[in-house]
Each structure stands twice: as C-alpha cells, then as structure tokens.
Amino acid sequence: MIRIKSPLLRWLLIGLAISFSVGLLGLSFWLVRLDQDVRARYAGVRWVLPAQVYASPLELYPGARISVTELRRELERLGYRASDELTGPGTFAVSGSELRVDTRAFAFWDGVQPEMRLAVKSDASSLTSLRAMGSDASIDLLRLDPMLIGSIYPSHSGEDRVLVKLSEVPPLLPATLIRVEDRAFADHFGISPKGILRAAVSNLFGGKGRKQGGSTLTQQLIKNLFLSNEQSYGRKINEALMAILLERHVSKDDILEAYLNEVWLGQDGSRAIHGFGLASQFYFNKPLNELRPAEIALLVGIAKGPTVYNPRKYPERVKDRRDLVLQLMEDGGLIRDDEREAEALTPLGVLNSVAGGVERYPAFIDLVRRQIKGLYREEDLGSEGLRIFTTLDPRAQERLEARIIADLPDLEKNRQLKPGTLQAAGVVTSVEGGEVLAMVGDRNVRYPGFNRALDSQRPIGSLAKPFVYLAALADPGRYNLYSSIADEPIDLKMPNGSHWAPKNYDRQLHGNVPLHVALAKSYNLPTVRIGLDIGVDRVHDLIEAAGLQGPPRLPSMFLGAINASPLDVAQIYSTLAASGYLTPLLAIREVMTKEGQPLSRYSFQLKQTLPEGPVYLTTWAMQKVIEFGTGRWAVSVLPAGQKFAGKTGTTDDARDSWFAGFGSDRVAVVWVGRDDNKPVGLDGAAGALRIWGRLMRDLDARGIDLTPPAGVEEAQIDPVTGLLADAGCAAQVTVPFLSGALPKDYAPCANAGQSSPLDWLKDIFR
Amino acid sequence: MIPFLTVTAARKPRVLTTVALIAVALLAACVAQPTVPTRPESTQQTQPPALPPTSAPAETIPPLLPTQPPVRPQPSAESFPKTLAAAGTGPAVLALARQAQTFRSAGRPQDALGQYERALRIEPKNAFIWQAMAETHLALHNVEQAESAARKSNSLARGNPWLELGNWRVIASALGVYGDSPAAQAARTRADEIGSALAASGGGGAMPAAASAVP
C-alpha cells in the first residue's frame, strides 16, 4: 500500500474521494430524476392532432348526374390513379364508356364503406349502371371516400398531422427508415457507440462538408419530443441519457411508431407537416398505404432536412436523394435490383400545388372554423384529431371558382376597367337542408385573406324587394300579382325633417303597372308605394323571419338599405326557395372522434317562418324577373324549358352588383363590386347576373316545380285588366292566386255573363 | 391513448333550433294563417260530386276550353301512391329508406335520420322521406322538428291524402306533447277527417305502412 506522506496530498485525495462519491450520488439522483422525467413526459405525450376536415362524399348510384368523364375527374381529385388494370384501392381504369374502380375503404359516421371493385357505365350526363366486378348484381348506392380538404390546427405551433399506426403502414416504410437513419435500431440500447464513433471520425476528417448525425432514431425522437434545437454538449448528453432510459420503458415498435408520427417532413406557410401520414397527403394526395417504393424513398429521404430537400423547390436534389435511398433499399434487400431500376425511372410524382389544406378552399374552411368554434373548445379542435364532415361539394365549388375566375376579367373588359379592379364573392347552397355547397370570398380563390362571402357587409339594394312584395301578396284582400300599382313620384317627409324622394333606376315613370311587373322590372317607386301601404314593420318582420336579423325600420329598407353579406342573402333567399321553411345554413354535417366514434351530428333543422302560398306567388313574380325583367339575359344561358327565380340588386351609383336566385335544388348568390366601394359601373344585370346565369347552368341546377301548393289556385286572367278572362279574350294568362282571393269580376273582353261556366264550376268546388 | 373530453360533446348547443324559434316568434302572426290549410279536396273525393240541382247548364253551355282552368279534375285517393316504393322513388333512395328502417328497428333513430338526409340530398322533394323523417324525430321527442318535417311533407304531398293522413297524425302527436292544446286537437281532427274519408272511399282502412308506424 502506498503511504502518502504529504498531508497536503492526503487531504487533497480525501477531498477528491468525497467529491467523487458526492458526484456519483448526485449523478444517481440525477438519473433517477431523469428517468422519472422521461417516463412522465413520454406518458404525457399528446400528439397535436388537428381536426381533419372532409368534403361531402360523392354518392354513386344509377341515375346519379355524373358522367364517366366527370367521375374520372372526381377520382383524380381524390388521388386515385389511372392504370390499365386495377392494382389495389385508389386505382381506376377507363375503357370507352366504362370505368372500373377499386374504391378505398372509409369509416363513415354510420358505418364502414368497405373497399369495392366496381364497374360503372354512364351516358353523356348520368350513370346508367353500377355493378360489383365479377357479379351481375346492380349496386343501389355507394359512397366514395370523402376528400380531405383541410385541418384546423393550432395557430401557435402550426403543427398539422394525420396519425398512423405502425401496423397499418406499409412495412417497407419503417424498414427503409431504419436502413437509412439507424441501421442498428433493432439491437442498440438507445444510443449506438459505433454510430457515434463513425460520425466523430467522419466529422473529424470530413472537414466542413456534411456533418453526420450519429443519432439513433430514439435519440432523434427524444430531441423532437422534449428538447430544443440547440447544439450543445450538455443537450447531447441529456439526449443520449434520455434515449437509453426511454428504451428501458418503451418497446422498439412504440418508438418507431412515435417517430413516424412526430418527424417534421415539410412546411406549408405557417403549417408544419408532421408525420408520414400527413406528408403522404401533402406531397402525393393519397394515403400512405398506396405509396410506391419510390414515393416511400422520397419521404424517408427528405426526413433528413425538409427545407434543404424540399421536392417542390429542389426537384433535382431530391431526386438524387430519393435514388440514393432506393439504392439503400436494394442494398438492404428490401427491393430487388430490377425494382430499383424501374422505380428510379419514375418521376417524383409530387403535386405542384398543395392538395388539401386550408389554402385550397380558404373561404369555406373559414366558415367551418366559425361554425365549429362555438361547439368545441379551441384546444380540442387543434389537438384532439376530431374528424369534421362538411357539406362542401367539390364539384359545385370548382364550378363557382371557375365562373368567377373566368367572368370577372370579361366584365372588366366590357366596362374598360383596369384588370384587377373588381372583386367578387359567391355562395351556393342546397334548397332543402340548407347545406353550404360552395363558397368563394375573393377572386383569387385560393387566397386565405378577407372573406367577402362572410365579412363584406354591403347594401343589398333591390335584393330586398321580394320581401316587400311578399308582404303585399300575404294580404290577398288588397294585393295580387296583377294589382295595378301607380308608378308615380313619391316625396316622403322623414321624422328628422328631411325629404326622401326615391327615383326609378331608369329615371322614368311607367304609369300604372301590374304588381309582378314592378318586381320583374325592379321599379323603385311602386315598391316604395306598396311598402308604405303595407308598413315598414311588416316587411322588417318578414326579412327577419327569412333569417336576417336587424334590418333598419326605415322606408329606405324597401330599396335595400340593408347591409348584408352574400351568405346572409343566401340565407333569406333559401327560405324563399324552400317554400317558406327556414333552415339555418350549415357547413358541418357530422363530427367524429379520431377513433371513429360519432360525436355529434347536425341534422336538417327547419321551421316554417314564411307563409307558403304568398311565397309561391312571390317566387312566381321572381320567375318573371328572368322571363322578361331585369334578369332576362339569363334566359340565354339557362336550360330551355326550366324556370328559375331570382332578383338583381344594384346600389347607388352601381357600387354593388348582386344577383341572387334559385331553382328547385340550388340557391346561388353572387356579388361583384370594389373593395374601396367606388362605383363599378355595373348594375346587377350587367355584372353579377352574368356569373349567376352561367353558374346555375354549370351546376346543372333544376328548374322550379310549377305545381301550386295547397292554398293557391290558378285562374285565366286578361293580362290588360288583371280580371278573369274567358274564350272571348284574345290574350289569356294563367296566374296563381291565394285560394278564395281570385278576382270576382270578368274583364271587358270576356263574353261571359253572370251565369258563366266559370262561376258555375266555382260554385261546385267552393 | 388520449381520453376524449366528453365535456365538449355535452356542451353542444341547440343553436339552430334557437335561431329558428326566435325567427318564428317574430313572425307568429303572418305564419299562422296559411300553415294549416283547410283544403277538403281529398274528402270530397269520397262523396259523389255535389252537382248543382240542375245539370242543365252543362248542356246549354259549350264544354270548357282547354285553356280555361281553374277547375282541375280532382284525382281520387286511389290514384295517389300509398308507399314510397309506389311513388316512383329511385333504387338509391329506396335502399337508404330500407337502411333507415333497419336503424329505426334497431333503436338507432339518429342513424336513421342520417340515412333520410342522404336520401333527401338525392330526392329533396320526396314527401315520403320527409314523412319518415318526421316520424323519426317524433320517436326522438324532437317535437319541433317532427312537426316541421311533417308540414314540409304536407307541402310536398300535393294533395296525397295517404301522406296527409300520416303527417297530420305526426303533427297531432307532436303538438300533443305540450298538452291537449286547440292546435293539437285541430290536427287530430284533421287526421281523423282524412282517415274516415279514406275509409269511406273504399280504401278499406288500408293505411300505408309509413303512417301506421306513427306511435
């Protein structure tokens, strides 16, 4: 034994021994604490799972109004691939008028739609047959998987992801990931000394080139989950220790699954693309299990650095990286040599633009966000992975967008306006059910900025007039569609002493006009005359009953001094279109948990708030707007033989150009104007009507059912006097009246006397 | 993994109903008049046409020109479809209605409603589907929606007495939930009138299956 003579040295050694023991003790405590910390933190890992938002699914059935050509387009939008034969879910093949498709399975709110191989035939406009392949049995009905149109992610972190399970991903993905990132993953205990050594050597001799990580997947996961991005030895040591500890508690599979869901794989503005599930949608617009080996190689390749390896920005660099990963796949025996060669020849296949995401349908997603906000807590929306099924009809949306994109430049050219001067917004809803099918809030339809469809509050002008006429027609003792209304000057002394003297839009007076003509031609003076007679309160109440709260109780309201958004207008016109039944316009159908459990469903809600008979008469007059009134241009584009009802709206100096109208199944509202509220020189007919008419045609909207409802009778009328006509009259028109309120008298042209056959028959049926 | 917060589900407000209610309250007066139309045409079918005592005018006056309505021949009750299948409904909607019926029998009325809504997206004016929806709402004690959907069905029934019978029964039951109000009595009377008229017309009490499902 060595005797230490120097007392100084002895004390020094004793001191060292003590500090070592204390240090060891401290380290032990530190490790125990770190272990608890790792366990607690890992157990508490809550994947930030933004709510996923889906469009409405396409229903396929014999008779569905979609041709094979359009169906093909729908499938491509959903990321289905065309090929010569079906090779698995998400593929289709077209031969002549027949389309075969292998549909994806999807868990809907009311059950799972299994994968199916279908053969579909159509004529030019609709499906004629739908069969399961290998069977002659016709299929009544089938839903395609709905399109993922976006997610509601927390604004603070911007993390977006679609959770996947290890058991559900193609095995090639984790195998490739291990091959590329951490070959010894299966054997190491959290860190890989060999890997660290290799990295150290490489970094030492590799100069300033690429630095090797040497981190295991476990270490990378620890870093991504718990640690900052800071590059320091302290952090590195912590990371290594935590990785070792984590491996003691968690299985390799769990670590791998967590990694697959955590890794950052791209950026979309403020939205961070996390996990392979979302990345697959983000880059290829299809689910993970439909990826080809080259696509898996690409995703694994860019995990190294999604900024440097951004396939949309640096396609060549990414192709090199992908091909390198394919080589590693082959080296590891994951794919064959000939497979690698074939895969390396394929293009990257990355979509040019972002497939889903709020950037695609920003106005509609905005509406979904607002409607869901009151129903769920913000943090749950951003993190609980709710699945929100919406009413968006991608085909209607596409048509609305196409019209606004195509028609605004034409309108500008016609009015010699500088390109880009005009702005527009549009809404399409279903008549029964009040579902918002399409929405555009900016002529740049992908721009997620100011949403004019919801937030632009503009005077609605003559769009208010149908409610004045509705109020009149609900009073059958005084008004019917042929009541004669004087189109004469009005000068109204207001309570504040000022005078209100409205003028007609054409500055002319038209003498006595039949009531429906005054609406069809949008004359202001007869409208004000009727409104004053019926009363501001009645008209006000009808507008509120139709679904727009708080119109000012002033006579100027008759001419539309009411500020409203296009969606507000769609609401009140929907109530007219649905025969007086108010259905609050909705964008959400169902909400499910991420596990597929139904959470809430928003069923059709309706309530009759307007009287059906007078609504029918008003709608009849609104058809005249298109037949011969201010909207007659639409006749040139709408399908012949079908009736649509609508109304132009123009505000002072033509600052706002509106058209709102409907058939039996669709309501559409279009606004055109300028953000600075300067005159655009377009009235409703010259501006919004052009978009609306073509839109209704493109939507394949159906015309109005002309059968009068209960409480309405039709009679033959002499158009000159508005009185009953018979064979003696040269001109006769069929006009609806509220039951019991038919004209009593015959027109002078009628040869019928007191004992006319009409009276006789009427007595029978009275 | 992460337990879902059931709190949020429970907080789901009935915003829609509230909005509708407010709107309705504001307009009670003008709604009242035409929502309950008294249109006895279906009962008239059942009796011999009440011709005037002298049928002479029919001979002396030339027959009506085709351009002269307002008188349409009133179709007999038997000419109206009694069931969904007889109403020219397409196979897709029939399949959904069957699925909905299965859900209803299995005590899953909410799921049934979902199927009816899918059906209405395909055939929005199908009065039989609206009626089935009304009945389902009634089973769920959504009395307001039951009444509204039944009235909607009546609006679209275009005089079909079989449908009207079922709808008035739903309306009577829905209104009856709040006690035996005059409105509930009126609806019940209306249903009884149509029912006895149909029975008298030789329908032999053969009620459509849908109507008999009303509790």
User: What number of other Cβ atoms are within 10 A of residue A308's Cβ?
Assistant: 12
- Cβ-in-10-Å burial (0-12, 13-18, 19+) of B96 comes to buried
Q: Report the distance separating Cα B67 and Cα B89, nearest Å.
A: 32
> Which one of B8, B91, B155 has the shortest CB-CB distance to A709?
B155
Decide: A281 and A356 in contact? Cβ < 8 Å. Answer: yes
Q: State the pLDDT confidence band at B15, using cuts at 50, 70 and 90.
A: very low
DSSP designation for A420 = T
In A332-477, where does DSSP find H-type helix?
337-345, 362-373, 378-383, 394-414, 452-455, 465-473
Q: What is the mean pLDDT of residues A53-58?
A: 96
Q: Kindly report which listed range (A26-40, A405-419, A531-545, A627-641) carries the lowest average pLDDT score.
A: A26-40
Q: Which residues of B touch A601 (CB under 8 A)?
A: 110, 113-114
- Taking only the tens place, the pLDDT of each residue in A561-615 is 999 999 999 999 999 999 999 999 999 999 998 888 888 889 899 999 999 999 9
Q: Report the distance separating Cα A526 and Cα A512, nearest Å.
A: 9
For residue A431, what pLDDT is reported?
A: 96
Torsion on CA atoms A284, A285, A290, A292, rounded to nearest 10: -10
For residue B204, what pLDDT is reported?
A: 47
Decide: A484 and A516 in contact? Cβ < 8 Å. Answer: no
Could you give the angle at which helices B143-157 and B161-176 cross, rounded to 10 degrees? 160
For residue A1, what pLDDT is reported?
A: 56
Could B19 and A758 be called an inter-chain contact, meaning their C-beta atoms sit closer than 8 Å? no
For residue A130, CA distances in Å to A86, A124, A137 come to 17, 15, 9
Could A46 and B151 be called an inter-chain contact, meaning their C-beta atoms sit closer than 8 Å? no
| A739 at B interface, C-beta within 8 A | yes
Q: Report the distance separating Cα A686 and Cα A237, nearest Å.
A: 72
Q: Which residue on chain B is closest to A580 by alpha carbon?
A: B31
- Which DSSP string corresponds to A233-282? HHHHHHHHHHHHHHHHHS-HHHHHHHHHHH-EEEEETTEEEEHHHHHHHH
Average pLDDT, rounded, for chain B: 71
> Which one of B4, B9, B34 has the shortest CB-CB distance to A611?
B34
Could A607 and B121 be called an inter-chain contact, meaning their C-beta atoms sit closer than 8 Å? no
> Which one of A593, A709, A757 has the shortest CB-CB distance to B61?
A757
Q: Report the distance separating Cα A158 and Cα A221, nearest Å.
A: 19
* Contacting residues for A440 by C-beta, under 8 A, at least 6 apart: A363, A397, A400, A401, A404, A424, A425, A426, A453
* Residue positions of A annotated with a catalytic role: 181, 462
Q: Report the distance separating Cα A361 and Cα A641, nearest Å.
A: 34
- Cβ-in-10-Å burial (0-12, 13-18, 19+) of A577 comes to buried
Decide: A705 and A675 in contact? Cβ < 8 Å. Answer: no
For residue B209, CA distances in Å to A152, A343, B45, B95 come to 45, 61, 22, 16
- Taking only the tens place, the pLDDT of each residue in A675-697 is 998 888 888 888 999 999 999 99
Average pLDDT, rounded, for chain A: 90
- Look at residue B70 and tell me whether its pLDDT is greater than 80: no
- Which DSSP string corresponds to A611-673? -HHHHHHHHHHHHHHHHTSTTGGGGGTSPTT---EEEEEE-GGG-EEEEEEE-SSEEEEEEEE
Q: Kindly report which listed range (A290-299, A519-528, A728-737, A757-766) carries the lowest average pLDDT score.
A: A757-766
Q: Which residues of A touch B154 (CB under 8 A)?
A: 710
| A373 at B interface, C-beta within 8 A | no
For residue A132, what pLDDT is reported?
A: 93
Q: What is the mean pLDDT of residues A47-70?
A: 92
Q: What is the ipTM of this complex?
A: 0.84
Q: Could you tell me the sign of the dihedral formed by the alpha carbons of B79, B80, B85, B91, in that order?
A: positive
Q: Report the distance separating Cα A151 and Cα A365, nearest Å.
A: 8
> Which one of A141, A374, A611 has the shortest CB-CB distance to B30?
A611
Q: State the pLDDT confidence band at A382, using cuts at 50, 70 and 90.
A: confident
Q: Which of B19, B55, B164 to mutate to test the interface with A (most CBs of A within 10 A)?
A: B19
Instruction: Using DSSP, state whether A390 is helix, strand or coil.
Output: strand
| A610 at B interface, C-beta within 8 A | yes
- Look at residue A761 and tell me whether its pLDDT is greater than 60: no
For residue A590, what pLDDT is reported?
A: 93
For residue B53, what pLDDT is reported?
A: 36
Q: Report the distance separating Cα A272 and Cα A264, nearest Å.
A: 7
For residue A756, what pLDDT is reported?
A: 53
* Contacting residues for A505 by C-beta, under 8 A, at least 6 apart: A522, A523, A524, A650, A683
- Look at residue A673 and tell me whether its pLDDT is greater than 90: yes
| A109 at B interface, C-beta within 8 A | yes
- Which DSSP string corresponds to B43-95? HHHHS-----S--HHHHHSPPPPTT--S-PPPPPGGGS--STGGGT--HHHHH
* Location of structure tokens 């709040």: B178
For residue A624, CA distances in Å to A205, A397, A612, A734, B67 come to 85, 28, 19, 13, 21
For residue A419, what pLDDT is reported?
A: 92
| A61 at B interface, C-beta within 8 A | yes
- Look at residue A60 and tell me whether its pLDDT is greater than 90: yes
A716 to chain B, closest Cα gap in Å:
6
List of domains in chain A: 55-147 (3.30.2060.10), 151-345 (1.10.3810.10), 436-698 (3.40.710.10), 712-765 (no CATH)
Q: State the pLDDT confidence band at A451, using cuts at 50, 70 and 90.
A: very high
pLDDT > 90: percent of chain B = 47
Q: Report the distance separating Cα A680 and Cα A308, nearest Å.
A: 47
For residue B25, what pLDDT is reported?
A: 44
Q: Which residues of B touch A663 (CB under 8 A)?
A: none
Q: Which residue on chain B is closest to A713 by alpha carbon?
A: B70
For residue A613, CA distances in Å to A568, A711, B119 come to 23, 6, 26
Q: Which residue on chain B is closest to A607 by alpha carbon?
A: B148
> Which one of A384, A600, A614 has the shortest CB-CB distance to B4?
A384
- Look at residue B30 and tell me whether its pLDDT is greater than 50: no
Q: What is the mean pLDDT of residues A172-189?
A: 91
Residues pairing with A22 in the sheet: none
Q: What is the mean pLDDT of residues B22-46?
A: 38
Q: Which residue on chain A is closest to B45 by alpha carbon?
A: A765
Q: What residue type is assigned to position A264 of the chain?
A: W
- Look at residue B59 and tell me whether its pLDDT is greater than 80: no
- Look at residue A365 and tell me whether its pLDDT is greater than 90: yes
B202 to chain A, closest Cα gap in Å:
22
Q: Kindly report which listed range (A26-30, A459-463, A642-646, B122-126) carries the lowest average pLDDT score.
A: A26-30
Name which of A4, A19, A38 is nearest A242 in CA terms: A38
Q: State the pLDDT confidence band at A234, using cuts at 50, 70 and 90.
A: confident
For residue A576, what pLDDT is reported?
A: 98
Q: Report the distance separating Cα A569 and Cα A651, nearest Å.
A: 15
- Taking only the tens place, the pLDDT of each residue in A470-510 is 999 999 999 999 999 999 999 988 888 888 899 998 889 99
For residue A750, what pLDDT is reported?
A: 87
- Look at residue A175 and tell me whether its pLDDT is greater than 80: yes
For residue A307, what pLDDT is reported?
A: 92
For A:649-688, CB contacts with B below 8 A are 664-665
Tokens of B91: 């196979």
> Which one of B68, B91, B122 has the shortest CB-CB distance to A716?
B68
Q: Report the distance separating Cα A462 and Cα A468, nearest Å.
A: 10
Q: Could you tell me the sign of the dihedral formed by the alpha carbons of A266, A271, A276, A282, in that order?
A: negative
- Look at residue B128 and tell me whether its pLDDT is greater than 90: yes
Q: What is the 3-state secondary structure (H, E, C) of A154-197?
A: CCCCCEEECCCCHHHCCCHHHHHHHHHHCCCCCCCCCCCHHHHH
Q: What is the mean pLDDT of residues B97-111?
A: 95
B34 to chain A, closest Cα gap in Å:
6
Q: Which residues of B touch A59 (CB under 8 A)?
A: 92, 118, 121-122
| A582 at B interface, C-beta within 8 A | yes
- Taking only the tens place, the pLDDT of each residue in A263-301 is 999 988 778 899 999 999 889 988 899 999 999 999 999
For A:127-186, CB contacts with B below 8 A are 138, 140-141
For residue A752, what pLDDT is reported?
A: 67
| Parallel, antiparallel or unpaired: strands A666-673 and A581-582 | unpaired
Q: What is the mean pLDDT of residues A32-38?
A: 85
Q: What residue type is assigned to position A518 of the chain?
A: A
Q: Kindly report which listed range (A590-594, A743-747, B14-18, B167-171) carries the lowest average pLDDT score.
A: B14-18
| A433 at B interface, C-beta within 8 A | yes
Tokens of A107: 């868990």
